Structure 1
Amino acid sequence: MHMVMYLMVQEPITLIGGIHEVSIHDAQQNKYSLSRYYAMWNKPRPESSTIDKQSSSKFLNASEKQQFYRELASAAESGWDFGTRWMRDTSEFTTLATTSVLPVDLNVFILKMELDISFLAREIGADGIAENFLKASQARQRAINSVFWNEKMGQWLDYWLSNGTTCKVESQTWEAQNQNQNVFASNFVPLWIDLFNSDTPLVEKVMRSLQTSGLVCAAGIATSLTNSGQQWDFPNGWAPLQHMIVEGLARSKLIEARSMAKEIAERWIRTNYVAYKKTGAMHEKYDVEKCGESGGGGEYVVQTGFGWSNGVVLAFLEEFGWPRDQSIDCIS
């Protein structure tokens, strides 16, 4: 167990240090450290070499091409490959600038990791490690609240860095206009963490924001409001995003939030079930406007299988069940 703990402590260094870490100062000179995606790769992706070379053809010099390849690889590293979330101009794919974004969800994932390591270290008596990771989690929570939270919108918003990212960004001053005010499902991912979903007034504000966001559709939560043709945009819905948001709402003390979680889960179960009955397969993504339809867009044909879709449906059924007398077909 101590060897496992050693490995767990070493792994985060590659995620949160060096080029991946950016410091933001507020007007009172408080310093907040947050993480970004920054792939150590500036060539075409081996699995998509032809497509990447075609996409980079508009760039005239080698350094611009290399930076674009890094942005592509960083978006692939994020799992959101691709969507307008990473584009400076949502209508132009070559404005991809993943390394210029401090992502809400990435920092929530790292916060959860820090909390988990602290808990496990405490369990085995490694109190020094536990305290270090607890302090790190507290600092990251403050950073998430200070840099990402938008009180008016009731959402946590990705933060765009002000300058280019071809080298290490040492520090920047927080500016309100650098928050990306486009609506993405990732803006609601902090609800997944008990630190946030245990705050009932906060949950109510975020729930109201989600209700009026335009993301909640007939068959689940859309990834964004922009229909760009990219797979991490409207009208696609992805299982992990449904799961994190539903879990956050369901764990709260707010009755209306728990009811909303159940309703979204039922919509997601329906669309997965009906699509399975039609095609004989579970799909990696679904069209949240059309119950029983798989999603589209992206660089490849829709994949079937599919691990996270299977897992999330099972998790929802375990959490909420399904009454025997309730139809599981799409509601017209």
Structure 2
Amino acid sequence: MIRSTKKPLIAGLMALLFFSCTPEKEQATSSASGFYKPWESLGPLFHEVQMAGIYPDSKTFVDCVPKRPPAEILSDYLELREEEVFDLEAFVKANFDAPEVPSNTAYESESEFALHLEEHWDYLTRSSEANDAFSTLIGLPEDYVVPGGRFREIYYWDSYFTMIGLGASGRIDLVEAMVDNFAFLIDSVGFIPNGNRTYYLGRSQPPYFASMVNLLMQLTEEEKGLDYLTAVQREYDFWMEGAEKLSEDQPAINRVVRLTDGTVLNRYWDFLDFPRPESHREDVELAEHLQDAEKPVLYRNLRAGAESGWDYSTRWFEQKDDFGSIRTVDILPVDLNCLMFAMENTLANLYELAGNDIKATGYQVRAEDRKEAIQRVFWNGQVNAFTDYVWTSGELEDQVTMAGAYPLYFLTATPEQARLQAAAQEQHLLQPGGLVTTMLESGQQWDFPNGWAPLQWIGVKGLEHYGHKALADGIKNRWLSINKKVYENTGKMMEKYNVADTTLLAGGGEYPTQDGFGWTNGVVLGFLAEDVAY
């Protein structure tokens, strides 16, 4: 159970309860009633606005709110566009309210660094609201923290690292409110979407909900976790949907894959296979050289890459210099499967706490089986590190990335694997400003030379778990140093940092570097809190 809600919920949200994660219903989210979906409601107008680049950031238009019913706007557009002189940009601005662009508060004094992070939670917090009939924003019952910048809504995996900082700040009430919001989404939608926008209803993000529950239990009391047992179970069922139907003839369904030896592991997926509305132009242009039958495959892989949170990285590319070769659904990610282990382990602990020994034992067995599979399937002896597994070819990827740090964070590595993984991270990924995400420079934002706060946390804490404290402290100090340096120069915290050249900020990706920034603030505060053990 989640605590009682005090504010209005979403009109029409329960309409999604019919949703089923089966292959024959993959398009269920696209026709769910009760939500505004501009790519459907606006049809050709949506496509033309996005392709014309009326807004430099494709996400802006899907966050715009129509000033009147979309059907009326579309009807007027279809009539007016036939005129000899038609100004599309003027038409859009006359009929849609653009989202507000927040002015981030900058601080100048170095001594205000920690104070700024503490006070900035209020700036990043949004109040729950009923959903506007013509908005893509999905209302939530409790207050929540957004990342900042262009990210005006809650994001799934961001929130775990934000919560770490909230806990260090003593904002336990807000941690609980955010866990309640995610439990609400699981109960209402059937899973936790990428973010609380209608254009994210085809996919989730790295499943940190069980870790959030564990964090809340550490901040409050162990019994608190029982309030979320049903929600954790439902999320697990979502990620494992179709596992019982896997066979040699059908080795993959949704987010589960069966290997030839019978091992069942997880991958990223998206129920939909058309261009992402928030990146419509970018996806259409990437696919323009393909045959029509090939485009849905590319779109699915792009969407699955977005579900991974690493959007985008050469980690997902078959040819490392070709974005169009993205093959996310062919890959079993080591980090995702560590998160699934954590979920199974959490279910075992919660069922034991609830007095259900049979289920507790069952999930403990599942967790141990997955731990063994992680050590066996993902360990790459050629590079002495954990790497992703390409299930369609039966081969391990050979690039050392920060995904390989997850077995240390979630305690699924053997001591010897942890020792070798630590050495690989130090040799291939350690830079003056912290840990770079991958070894390859591609222009993609999840590649060299960028470092990201969540992966610094995973890397540092994973090393600490296996006793590599000196290396962990060195990484932590390098990351804190670059965070403080950029803050001193700009008065802001950034989404990502160039950790190879600490004289620069960061770059690459589909949008400019964002400031704010929820998970960066959270990780810094977690590092500064000496008693933070999670």
Spell out the pairing of 1:146-225 with structure 2 (5 A cutoff).
Answer: 146-162=376-392, 175=394, 178-196=395-413, 199-212=414-427, 214-225=428-439
1:292 Cα deviation after fit? 5.8
Paired position in structure 2 for 1:44: 275
Paired position in structure 2 for 1:328: none
DSSP-derived class of the 2:329 partner: helix
Paired position in structure 1 for 2:240: 16
- Contact kept in structure 1, 2:375 and 2:412, CA below 8 Å: no
Q: Residue 314 and residue 89 in structure 1: after superposition, are their counterparts in 2 closer, same or farther (change >3 A)? A: same
1:60 Cα deviation after fit? 1.8
Q: Distance in 2 between matches of 1:137 and 1:13?
A: 15
- Choose from 266, 274, 282 the match for 2:485: 274
- Choose from 312, 320, 325 the match for 2:523: 312
- Contact kept in structure 2, 1:271 and 1:292, CA below 8 Å: no
Q: Does 1:59 align with 2:294?
A: no
Q: Distance in 2 between matches of 1:91 and 1:152?
A: 22
Kindly provide the CA deviation profile for residues 170-227 of structure 1, in whole angstroms up to 9, marking residues without a partner as x. xxxxx4xx1000121112221101343xx43332222222222x21000010111111
Larger Rg: 2
Q: Does 1:130 align with 2:360?
A: yes
Q: Does 1:294 align with 2:505?
A: yes
Paired position in structure 2 for 1:240: 454
DSSP-derived class of the 1:14 partner: helix
1:4 Cα deviation after fit? 2.9
DSSP-derived class of the 1:237 partner: strand
- Contact kept in structure 1, 2:385 and 2:417, CA below 8 Å: no
Q: Distance in 2 between matches of 1:203 and 1:162?
A: 27
Q: Distance in 1 between matches of 2:369 and 2:262?
A: 10
Unaligned runs of 5+ in 1: 164-174, 322-332
Range 120-129 or range 45-54, more displaced: 120-129
- Contact kept in structure 2, 1:24 and 1:31, CA below 8 Å: yes
DSSP-derived class of the 1:203 partner: helix
Q: Distance in 1 between matches of 2:416 and 2:373?
A: 20
DSSP-derived class of the 1:130 partner: helix
Q: Residue 243 and residue 221 in structure 1: after superposition, are their counterparts in 2 closer, same or farther (change >3 A)? A: same
Q: Distance in 1 between matches of 2:317 and 2:412?
A: 30
- Contact kept in structure 1, 2:400 and 2:424, CA below 8 Å: no
- Choose from 490, 494, 498 the match for 1:283: 494
Counterpart of 2:256 in structure 1: which amino acid?
A: E
DSSP-derived class of the 1:183 partner: coil
- Choose from 91, 113, 117 the match for 2:343: 113
Q: Distance in 1 between matches of 2:273 and 2:233?
A: 28
TM normalised by structure 2 equals 0.54
- Contact kept in structure 2, 1:105 and 1:189, CA below 8 Å: yes
1:16 Cα deviation after fit? 2.4
Unaligned runs of 5+ in 2: 2-225, 243-252
1:23 Cα deviation after fit? 1.5
Q: Residue 189 and residue 195 in structure 1: after superposition, are their counterparts in 2 closer, same or farther (change >3 A)? A: closer
Kindly provide the CA deviation profile for residues 143-169 of structure 1, in whole angstroms up to 9, marking residues without a partner as x. 111111123422111011226xxxxxx
Q: Residue 5 and residue 89 in structure 1: after superposition, are their counterparts in 2 closer, same or farther (change >3 A)? A: same
Q: Distance in 2 between matches of 1:4 and 1:262?
A: 34
Q: Residue 265 and residue 3 in structure 1: after superposition, are their counterparts in 2 closer, same or farther (change >3 A)? A: closer
**Number of positions where the alignment pairs a residue of Structure 1 with one of Structure 2:** 297
Kindly provide the CA deviation profile for residues 259-294 of structure 1, in whole angstroms up to 9, marking residues without a partner as x. 100000000000001111111111110001122642
Q: Residue 23 and residue 75 in structure 1: after superposition, are their counterparts in 2 closer, same or farther (change >3 A)? A: same
1:111 Cα deviation after fit? 0.7
Q: Does 1:4 align with 2:197?
A: no
DSSP-derived class of the 1:286 partner: strand
Query: Percent identical across equivalent pairs?
Result: 36
Range 261-270 or range 120-129, more displaced: 120-129
Q: Distance in 2 between matches of 1:36 and 1:24?
A: 12
Q: Residue 227 and residue 209 in structure 1: after superposition, are their counterparts in 2 closer, same or farther (change >3 A)? A: same
Spell out the pairing of 1:68-147 with structure 2 (5 A cutoff).
Answer: 68-147=298-377
Q: Distance in 2 between matches of 1:124 and 1:320?
A: 29
| C-alpha RMSD over aligned residues | 1.7
1:8 Cα deviation after fit? 1.7
1:105 Cα deviation after fit? 0.4
Q: Does 1:226 align with 2:440?
A: yes
Range 1-10 or range 78-87, more displaced: 1-10
- Contact kept in structure 1, 2:338 and 2:406, CA below 8 Å: yes
1:245 Cα deviation after fit? 1.2
DSSP-derived class of the 1:224 partner: coil
Q: Distance in 1 between matches of 2:530 and 2:503?
A: 22
Q: Residue 200 and residue 148 in structure 1: after superposition, are their counterparts in 2 closer, same or farther (change >3 A)? A: closer
